[in-house]
């Protein structure tokens, strides 16, 4: 199908985009990569009156490492292909590159953007998952000013976020990888590029004896949005064997209740999530202790 | 509203409604009917074109967004009456049957050739996974792309060697 008619405007500057968002509010949608929004428009599941194209705005573009704060700032318009190739991302947030490999297909990765994926808030999306595990912060702008939102507070449920109609994500701030820290993403989909049936991400830090001192795990596709897993994190304190990891991952079972759908039953998804979490923790741990051995 | 961009090396100015898709403008106003439309929501890959050299879905791109960019459709991959290496390999390997999905596959594969990187068969399969074929089957398509890549690499190596020798 074709989209219903709308008024398209290309924002000349960020202020221009924010002014229009302020004026049009819920009647407007922001167009970035369009890889989720355009299908919704084509199927007429969304029929906004205005489309504000933010592609090319310099304030939302680029990747920057601040050695003082040890944080990486990634512009919201960074495309998935750039996540795969950017040297600063490879150095300071390699989990983002790993996650981007799972996203859709070649042509989707040419256009899709980081900010777009976050704002769309698909429960199975990879970037919200890994940004949750990485404890990222979203930089949000409106006509009234700028503020930061920890990603853990951002998602409200299926395709729902706390972003106000006049607000725009302009960048994501990601803490740099601490020393002795490893990361991993693990997901399962029936075919490469499909929506994940379940996914897991882990970032773990070990001490000099190879014992986990800090863990930040997240699960995707098994709840209305990507979720942190405090019980898994707590259980990983002091962990160092595959059995420990598996026991920690089991904690997931108690606080997820994925619904049945055409793709898989809820029970299957729950089992899958635990297994994927075990794999992600194992791989993150192996990287943290600097070994190449694959636990998965 | 009018929009100006480049298609297959030619500058064009098109007057189209704001909500029209790039695919529809290419097909209906510029007569580039090699751009095929099937699913119209980004799944099948038949409408794939190159935008500044990168594969994009022309059904998920608005015509207005093409402003100032270079678009290449299957018609622009080789001079009139000639075939590019991917197209020739598709014939050699019987990589098409009804032909509906073929332009999307050929455009995607031509992008891979332009990258001049070695690819395993598995990587080729992943790179083509965003294009769906419902009749030929994928084996012959992957064979064709693998062959075209191998040949272009051999040619590239020969070229590099010739330059080196000189």
Cβ of B4 under 8 Å from any chain A Cβ? no
Question: What is the average pLDDT value for chain A, to the nearest integer?
Answer: 95
Determine the distance from the C-alpha atom of residue A140 to the mean position of all C-alpha atoms in its chain, rounded to a whole number: 16
> Are B18 and B52 part of one and the same domain?
yes
Question: What is the average pLDDT value for chain B, to the nearest integer?
Answer: 94
* Confidence band for A61, pLDDT divided at 50, 70 and 90: very high
Each residue's pLDDT tens digit, B121-136: 999 999 999 999 999 8
Look up the ipTM and state it: 0.91
Rounded to whole angstroms, the Cα distance separating A37 from A33 reads 8
Q: Is residue B39, in this structure, part of any structural domain at all? A: yes
Which contiguous run of DSSP H or E holds residue A127?
helix A126-133
User: How far apart are the CA of B151 and the nearest CA of chain A, in angstroms?
Assistant: 22
Boundary-marking domain end, from B76, B98, B128 = B76
Stated pTM of the model: 0.94
Structural domain including B119 reads 85-161
> Are B70 and B103 part of one and the same domain?
no
Rounded to whole angstroms, the Cα distance separating A28 from A285 reads 45
Check CB contact under 8 Å for B129 and A55.
Answer: no
> Which residues lie across from A51 on neighbouring strands?
A8, A29
> Are B127 and B95 part of one and the same domain?
yes
Check which CATH number belongs to the domain holding B19 and give it. 3.10.20.30
- Tokens matching residue B32: 């580039």
SS3 (DSSP) at B8: coil
Q: Is residue B166, in this structure, part of any structural domain at all? A: no
CB A36, CB B42: distance < 8 Å: no
Please give the average per-residue pLDDT across A85-94, as a whole number: 96
Rounded to whole angstroms, the Cα distance separating B72 from B121 reads 26
Using an 8 Å CB-CB cutoff, list chain A residues near B130: 104-108, 193
> Are B61 and B114 part of one and the same domain?
no
**Fold assignment, A58-174:** 3.30.465
SS3 (DSSP) at A250: helix
Phi, psi of A142 (to 5 degrees): -140, 180
The number of folded domains in chain B is 2
Boundary-marking domain end, from B22, B52, B76 = B76
CB A17, CB A30: distance < 8 Å: yes
Please give the average per-residue pLDDT across A121-140, as a whole number: 97
Q: In CATH, what is the architecture of A7-53?
A: 2-Layer Sandwich (3.30)
> Are B45 and B103 part of one and the same domain?
no
Please give the average per-residue pLDDT across A65-82, as a whole number: 97
Determine the distance from the C-alpha atom of residue B142 to the mean position of all C-alpha atoms in its chain, rounded to a whole number: 15
Which of B57, B109, B126 best probes binding to A when mutated, by most A CB atoms within 10 angstroms? B57
Rounded to whole angstroms, the Cα distance separating B98 from B75 reads 18
Q: Is residue B34, in this structure, part of any structural domain at all? A: yes
**Nearest CA-CA partner of A84 in A54, A114, A120:** A114
- Sheet containing strand A50-53, edge to edge, reads A7-10, A50-53, A28-31
Boundary-marking domain end, from B76, B94, B112 = B76
> Are B68 and B17 part of one and the same domain?
yes
Question: How long a stretch of residues is chain B?
Answer: 166
Burial class (CB in 10 A: 0-12, 13-18, 19+), A172: buried
Query: Quick check: B163 pLDDT over 60?
Result: no
> Are B89 and B154 part of one and the same domain?
yes
Query: Quick check: A54 pLDDT over 80?
Result: yes
Burial A243-265 (b: 16+ CB within 10 A, else e): ebbbebbebbeeebebeeeeebe
pLDDT confidence of residue A3: 97
Check CB contact under 8 Å for B19 and A53.
Answer: no
Please give the average per-residue pLDDT across A41-54, as a whole number: 98
pLDDT confidence of residue B136: 86
pLDDT confidence of residue A193: 84
> Are B89 and B145 part of one and the same domain?
yes
> Are B43 and B107 part of one and the same domain?
no
Using an 8 Å CB-CB cutoff, list chain A residues near B65: 31, 34, 53, 55
Residue B12 exposure: Cα atoms within 13 Å on the Cβ side? 21
Rounded to whole angstroms, the Cα distance separating A245 from A222 reads 19
State the CB neighbour count (10 A cutoff) for residue B48. Answer: 31
Each residue's pLDDT tens digit, A258-277: 999 989 999 999 999 999 99
Q: Is residue B104, in this structure, part of any structural domain at all? A: yes
- Tokens matching residue B163: 């330059």
Each residue's pLDDT tens digit, A177-197: 988 999 999 999 988 888 999
> Are B95 and B148 part of one and the same domain?
yes
Rounded to whole angstroms, the Cα distance separating A277 from A290 reads 20
Each residue's pLDDT tens digit, A197-239: 999 999 999 999 999 999 999 999 999 999 999 999 999 999 9
Of the candidates B41, B54, B111, which has its C-beta nearest A43's C-beta? B41
> Are B52 and B119 part of one and the same domain?
no
CB A275, CB A248: distance < 8 Å: no
Q: Where are the domains of chain A?
A: 7-53, 58-174, 184-288
Cβ of B58 under 8 Å from any chain A Cβ? no
CB A198, CB A273: distance < 8 Å: yes
**Fold assignment, A184-288:** Enolase-like; domain 1 (3.30.390)
pLDDT confidence of residue B158: 57
* Confidence band for B159, pLDDT divided at 50, 70 and 90: low
């Amino acid at each position: 199908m074709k989209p219903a008619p709308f008024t398209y405007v290309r924002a000349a500057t960020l202020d221009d985009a924010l002014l229009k968002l302020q004026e049009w509010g819920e009647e407007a949608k922001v167009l970035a990569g369009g890889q989720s929004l355009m299908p919704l428009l084509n199927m007429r599941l969304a029929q906004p009156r205005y489309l504000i194209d933010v592609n090319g705005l310099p304030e939302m573009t680029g990747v920057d490492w601040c050695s003082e704060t040890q944080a990486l700032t990634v512009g919201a318009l960074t495309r998935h292909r750039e996540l795969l190739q950017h040297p600063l991302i490879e150095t300071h947030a390699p989990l983002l590159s790993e996650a981007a490999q799972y996203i859709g297909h070649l042509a989707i990765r040419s256009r899709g953007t980081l900010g777009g994926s976050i704002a769309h808030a698909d429960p199975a999306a990879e970037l919200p998952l890994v940004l949750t595990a990485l404890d990222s912060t979203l930089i949000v702008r409106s006509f009234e000013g700028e503020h930061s939102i920890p990603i853990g507070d951002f998602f409200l449920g299926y395709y729902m976020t706390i972003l106000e109609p006049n607000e725009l994500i302009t960048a994501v701030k990601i803490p740099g990888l601490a020393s002795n820290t490893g990361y991993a993403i693990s997901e399962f989909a029936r075919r490469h590029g499909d929506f994940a049936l379940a996914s897991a991400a882990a970032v773990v830090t070990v001490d000099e004896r190879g014992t986990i001192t800090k863990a930040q795990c997240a699960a995707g596709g098994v709840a209305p949005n990507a979720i942190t897993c405090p019980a898994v994190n707590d259980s990983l304190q002091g962990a160092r064997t595959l059995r420990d990891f598996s026991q920690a991952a089991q904690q997931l079972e108690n606080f997820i209740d994925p619904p049945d759908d055409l793709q898989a039953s809820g029970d299957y998804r729950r089992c899958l999530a635990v297994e994927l979490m075990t794999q992600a923790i194992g791989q993150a741990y192996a990287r943290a202790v600097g070994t190449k051995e694959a636990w998965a | 509203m009018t929009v100006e961009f480049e298609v297959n090396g030619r500058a064009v100015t098109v007057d189209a409604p704001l909500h029209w898709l790039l695919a529809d403008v290419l097909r209906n106003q510029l007569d580039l009917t090699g751009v095929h439309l099937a699913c119209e929501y980004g799944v099948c890959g038949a409408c794939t074109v190159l935008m500044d050299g990168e594969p994009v879905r022309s059904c998920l791109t608005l015509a207005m967004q093409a402003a100032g960019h270079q678009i290449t459709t299957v018609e622009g991959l080789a001079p009139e009456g000639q075939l590019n290496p991917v197209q020739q390999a598709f014939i050699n390997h019987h990589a098409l049957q009804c032909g509906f999905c073929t332009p999307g596959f050929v455009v995607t594969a031509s992008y891979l050739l332009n990258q001049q990187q070695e690819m395993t068969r598995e990587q080729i399969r992943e790179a083509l996974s965003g294009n769906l074929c419902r009749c030929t089957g994928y084996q012959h398509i992957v064979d064709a792309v693998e062959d075209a890549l191998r040949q272009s690499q051999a040619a590239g190596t020969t070229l590099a060697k010739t330059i080196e020798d000189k």
